[in-house]
Structure 1
C-alpha cells in the first residue's frame, strides 16, 4: 500500500492479462475483460495461433456488479474474448472509435479519441470524468489508455488525483503530458514486452518492457504502479521475475506492486485515513474489560520492573540477535510443537493469515526490508510468546474492522484478549531469564546515539525477545 492524497478508497483485483477490477468507493470498473479458460486457442489476424496458458482465477459468476468497462481495444482476443463480450451489454463501455463501431448497436458503448474527455454521472450519483490517452500498439489499429478522475478525488499540488490504465502500448513520449494535467494516484501498466512477427520479417514490440515502464513511471510520477499483462501468452517475453529484476536494478521497486491473481487488494489509503482514527472505530467494550485492564497493568509493571532492574548496557543490540535466537535442537523442537498447538485452536490460522496479509503491511509501511512481514513470522515459529502477540494484534484488528463494517455485534469477550493475556504470561519468564535481552531492548528504546529513528527501530526490533514489546 501507499500513502496518497486521493480522497477515495482504491481496491484492485488482477484477474489476468490486462483484466482488472478497480473499486473506487461506489464505482466498480473492469478493464479489458478476458475470462476464457486455460488452453483456449485463438487465430490472430496474421494467421498465428495464440494459446492461453493460464487459468483466470475468477469467472463471470465471481464478479461484483460492474458499472463501467474500460476497453483499450476490441479486436484482440486477449483483451476482449467471447466471455468478456457478454459483459458489454447494457453497461457503460469506453473504447476506441473503431471499437465502438464494431460493437454497435450497443447504445452505452462510447468511442473516444486520444485526449478526449467524457463526463459521466454514475456510481451512487457521483460525476466522473474519463479521459482517453494515446497508445502505440499494432500499426493500423486503434488502442487507448484511460484516466479516471472525479472532483471528490481531491487534488495534489493543484492537479486532480486520478487512476490511470495504460492500455496496450509501448513507451511514447506523448504520455509525459499526463503529469502536466493530472496527479496519478494509481497507474495500471500493461507490460510483458509482447512481440509479434512483422509482415516483412523480424519482430515488432507492441507493449512496454520493464525499462519502458520505469521510464513512464518517472515521466508521470504515480504514487504506485500495478503491473498487468505479463503472463499466460507466448508472445510475452518478460514475466514477473524479469520485471522485478529490472525495477530493483533501477531502484524503484517500492513503486511497483504485483497483485496476487484474483485477490481483492487495498492499494491506497489517504493521509486522513492514516493520521486520524475512523469515526466508526470508537472505544468499545474491550478497553473496559476487567481482564484487559488487569493485563495492561501487568504489562506496564513488567516493563517498569525491567527498566528498574536492568539499566541499559553500552553493547550494540545486533550482538544479542544471534545469542538470543540460538536454541538447542530440543528447545527449538519444543517451541515449534507449542506454536503448532497454539495455531490449531479456534480461528488462529485465520488470524495468522490476516496478520501477514493485512497487519504486517501497515507495520512495514516505511520499512523496505519488511521486518514485520518477513522476519517476525519466522521468529514466531520458535517463540510462542511472539506468536501469541502477533495473533493478538491481528485478532484485535479483525474485531474492530468487523464491528465497524457492521458484521459483528459488541462482545463482552474477545479472542484478542485471551491471546494478549497468554502473550504476557509467556513473556514474563523470558524477561526474568534474559537480562541481556532486557539490556538490549532498553538500550534500543532510550539510546540517544542512534543515527536516526529508523536505526533505533531496527535495533529494538532486531532483538528476538524485544519483538514482543513492539507488537504488544
Structure 2
C-alpha cells in the first residue's frame, strides 16, 4: 500500500540531522553521521561527543537531502558526504552546490524546486539564513533554510542561523505547520560572547514570528560548542502564548507529525 501523500513522519538522528518521510518521499536534513567521539580541526575546532541515533547503513534510500551548508562537520561530515553520493537530489546553497558537484543543486533565497519521488511531490523553497552576527558572513560562509510545501501542509527547516530581520518574511509568505529550529546557542572560545546559532529564547521569538503550530528542536546536542542546557528550550516555550507548541522527538524513533 502506498503512503498517504499527506502523511509525515520525522525521526531525529542527532544534531541537525532528521529523517523525514513525506508520503512516499524520503528526506534527510544536514547529514552528520560519523561515530563519536570525533574531532574536526580548523579555525574553530569541533568535538563530537555522541554519535547519531541511526548509522548511515540503517538509513533507507534517500530521495532528497536538504543541506543548509557544507562547510561545518556538525552539518556535513565524512559519512554524510557518502550519503550525499547516493541521494537522488541534494539542495543547498549555490556555493555549496558548486563545491559538491554531482547531484547537488543550489538555491538562492526564495528560489524554489519541485521534487517528485515515490508518488509524492513537494515544493522546496530556500529561505534566508545567517550563521552568526552581522559581518561574520565571510568567515561562516553562506547558509540556507528551507520551506517544504506538500499536499497536507508546510514544514520549515531553519538551517544554522541566528535570529535576524530577514526571517520575518518567512511567516509572511508561508503558513508554517511544523518548524524544525536549529538551536543550541553555539559559541566558541575564540569568539567570546558571539552566538552562531539560535538560543532557546531566540527560537521562541522566531516561533512567534512564524506562527508555527509545532516547533521541533534540532541542533542542540552531541557537540561541545552546543552548550546551552536543553532545559532552557522547554522553559522558553512555557510562555502562555507558546503553550503546546514545543515537541521533542525521541532519537531514532519515527514519529507522526
- TM-score, structure 1 length as denominator? 0.50
Distance 2:240 2:197 in 1: 20
Structure ranking higher on relative contact order (CA contacts 8 Å, 6+ apart): 2
Distance 1:136 1:238 in 2: 19
Is 1:95 the counterpart of 2:67? The answer is no
Deviation at 1:251? 5.1
Is 1:211 the counterpart of 2:201? The answer is yes
Q: May I ask how many residue pairs the two structures share in their alignment? A: 247
Deviation at 1:250? 5.8
Residues 309-388 of structure 1 aligned to structure 2 (within 5 Å): none
Question: Deviation digits for residues 75-118 of structure 1, max 9, x if unmatched?
Answer: 001100100101111420000111111102x0x21011111112
Deviation at 1:122? 2.5
Whether the 8 Å contact between 1:197 and 1:204 is mirrored in structure 2 is no
Give 2:106's aligned residue: 111
Distance 1:249 1:129 in 2: 33
Give 1:137's aligned residue: 131
Which of residues 116, 132, 140 is equivalent to 1:121?
A: 116
Give 2:167's aligned residue: 175
Question: Deviation digits for residues 204-260 of structure 1, max 9, x if unmatched?
Answer: 211111111111101111120100000111111313212112222465241010111
Tell me the secondary structure at the aligned position of residue 132 of structure 1.
strand
> Deviating runs (4+, > 4 A) in structure 1?
none
Give 1:15's aligned residue: 13
Segments of 5+ residues of structure 2 without an aligned counterpart are: none
Is 1:163 the counterpart of 2:159? The answer is no
Tell me the secondary structure at the aligned position of residue 189 of structure 1.
strand
Instruction: Decide which structure has greater helix share.
Output: 1
Distance 2:241 2:229 in 1: 19
Give 2:59's aligned residue: 63
Distance 1:255 1:263 in 2: 20
Distance 2:39 2:243 in 1: 35
Which of residues 206, 214, 217 is equivalent to 1:227?
A: 217
Q: Aligned-pair RMSD on alpha carbons?
A: 1.8
